Copies of this chain bind each other. A is one copy, B any other.
Amino acid sequence: MAAVSGRWTTLVLRELMQAEISFGALRERLPDISPKVLADRLHLLRERGLVTQERLPGFPVRTRYALTESGRLLRPLLIELYRTGEMLGERGA
């Protein structure tokens, strides 16, 4: 639960499941997340060893976030989470 709880966390992970992505690109994909909360999530995921950050050389700075091997272990859980959510959603629960 610790790995996936918190608002936005599963959505951030879902984006990372699809491809490596920059901070700004994440914000574009998740327009309503504030920079602070996104940074919070990424820090947390990095602390837990689920995500890595790479700083690309050059100016302006660019970054690239990617899942670690541990992070990729979450894929079946996320799928089950969305699947279960849809099943309950259809019923009204």
Measured CB to CB, the residues of A under 8 A from B are 1, 3-5, 10, 48-50, 68, 70, 73-74, 76-77, 80-81, 84-85, 87-88, 91-93
- B84 x A76 contact (CB < 8 A): yes
Which residues of chain B are near A88, meaning CB under 8 Å? 3, 48, 70, 73
CB distance from A17 to the nearest CB of B (A): 14
CB distance from A30 to the nearest CB of B (A): 16
Which residues of chain B are near A10, meaning CB under 8 Å? 1
Q: Which of B3, B74, B85, B93 contacts A49 (CB 8 A)?
A: B93
Report the Cα distance A73→B3, complex, angstroms. 22
A70 closest partner in B (C-beta)? B93
Which residues of chain B are near A92, meaning CB under 8 Å? 49
Which residues of chain B are near A1, meaning CB under 8 Å? 4-5, 10, 81, 85
Q: Which of B77, B80, B81, B93 contacts A50 (CB 8 A)?
A: B93
